Amino acid sequence: MIAVLKRLASIRLTLLWMALLAIGAALNYDNPVDTPVWVLVAPLALLGINLLAAIITNARINRRGGLLIFHVALLMIVILAAIGRLTHMEAHIEMVDGMGFTPERLINVRQGPLHSGKLDQVHFIQGPYTIEYRPGMMRGLTHSQVLVPDGAGGWERKVVGDDRPLILEGYRFYTTFNKGFAAVLTWMPDGGEAQTGTIHMPSYPLFEFRQANRWTPVEGGEQIKFWLQLETGIDPEGYWVLDARKSQASLVLRTGGQRVELQPGETVRLERGVLRYDGLSSWMGYKLYYDPTLQWLFLTAMLSVLGLAIHFWKKFANHPWPQPTSNRKDAGHASSDTRTAVIDKGRMV
């Protein structure tokens, strides 16, 4: 049994499994949808077996307290990283001002085969946001306001940013560069009930001159093309703040050979109903991230640092630093005194 464990603890296997892990990390870069999670989990599992065998069979590890703590913590990190990949979840969502979160709106969803979070218990409502820009269109801080349940039947206001996540049920929501405007429309079909919704325009100000989209009524008919004419106070050469509450826009639509420009509240008669432009809104893009091992990874990382600190403390305590020698001037005087003593002694003889 020990012979088998020594083979599993081989440093050559360590290098091989690390190479496989590097390949897996390269394949998993930027989270492509078609890459299975096992390209990372399998090398991590092999590294864990290799490390466990080394801890059991290597006396230089298991007989030194500090090194033992370090390697056990390292083994825990490998295990937690594998568990994290199996249980993680990543996704994106676009939230319109005033809209509540629903899991059905998530896009680009990626999750491990063992993911079992409580996403259905996540509730918040998107509010307005502001984004600071520096000269040269350099994006600064994002302040996205959201309302979350306060546990007493009311709502609590929080501010989310690129580095200030909204954390609910272990899920982390980060703002992204992907945000923009939306046209709020009410469609009143002939003989049917009115329906209100939003048409999202491309990200702003990245696509400042392409604020267009299209929509076809569910009743059929010709496709409607929309274009927003925005006034946001944008200043590419100075400091400015993007705030949808201080922005205005008229809506241009084309359908059936006609072109109509609408102001908020105005309507237009179309082929199978009436369309009303209710006004301008905004949407914010979020990145959702879930990994239940993050806190444990931090604790085990601190434990590994503690193990190394203990190991080197004992090492330096057993082998103290050499005492500092005298400076050259003192050494030169000592050498002269010694030579004089020798000469005097010679004369005496």
Determine, yes or no, domain membership for 328: no
Looking at the structure, tell me whether residues 262 and 298 fall in a common domain: no
Whether residues 10 and 84 share a domain: the answer is yes
**Encoding tokens for residue 93?**
């969502």
Query: What would the 3-class secondary structure string for 172-183 be?
Result: EEEEEEEEEEEE
Alpha helices (H) in the chain, listed in sequence order = 2-8, 11-27, 38-57, 59-62, 65-87, 294-318, 328-348
Whole-number Å distance between alpha carbons of 132 and 90 = 27
Closest to 76 measured CA to CA, from 250, 286, 298: 298
- Are 67 and 145 members of one domain? no
User: Left if phi > 0, otherwise alpha if psi is -120 to 50, otherwise beta: which for 234?
Assistant: beta
- 243 and 186 both lie in a single domain: yes
Rounded to 10 degrees, the C-alpha dihedral 228/162/166/156 comes to -60
Instruction: State pTM to two decimals.
Output: 0.81
Classify residue 345: in a domain, yes or no: no
Q: Which has the closest alpha carbon to 297: 114, 146, 136, 78?
A: 78
Pair 78, 95 in one domain: no
User: What end-to-end distance do the CA atoms of the chain give, in Å?
Assistant: 76
Residue 325 covered by a domain: no
Residue 93 and residue 107 in contact, taking contact as beta carbons nearer than 8 Å: yes
Say yes or no: 310 and 250 in one domain.
no
Question: Which residue is listed with tokens 């274009």?
Answer: 227
What SS3 string covers 152-200?
A: CCCEEEEEECCCCCEEECCEEEEEEEEEEEEEEEEEEECCCCCEEEEEE
Same domain, 162 and 198: no
Same domain, 154 and 94: yes
How far is C-alpha 137 from the geometric centre of its chain's CA atoms? Answer: 23
Tell me, yes or no, whether 322 lies in a domain. Answer: no
pLDDT value, residue 325:
65
Q: Domain range holding 298? A: 2-88+292-317
* Whether residues 196 and 268 fall in one domain: yes
Kindly state the DSSP code that residue 131 receives in the 8-state scheme. E
Indicate if 11 and 65 belong to the same structural domain: yes
Q: Is 330 domain-assigned?
A: no
69 domain residue, yes or no:
yes
Number of domains in the chain: 3
Q: What pLDDT does 316 receive? A: 79
**329 lies in some domain:** no
31 within domain boundaries = yes
Domain end point (choices 282, 300, 332): 282
Q: Do both 82 and 97 map to the same domain?
A: no
Domain boundary among 153, 178, 203: 178
Domain boundary among 160, 178, 196: 178
Same domain assignment for residues 65 and 139 = no
Long-range CB contacts for residues 159-163, cutoff 8 Å, separation at least 24: 160/286
Q: What pLDDT does 222 receive?
A: 83
pLDDT means per 10 residues, the chain with 349 residues, are: 87 93 86 81 94 92 90 95 94 95 93 91 96 93 96 93 95 96 94 91 94 88 91 92 94 90 94 92 96 94 93 79 61 50 43
- Of 197, 187, 200, 175, give the one whose Cα is nearest residue 283: 200
- Cα–Cα distance for residue pair 147/166, rounded to 1 Å: 10
pLDDT of the residue at 343:
43
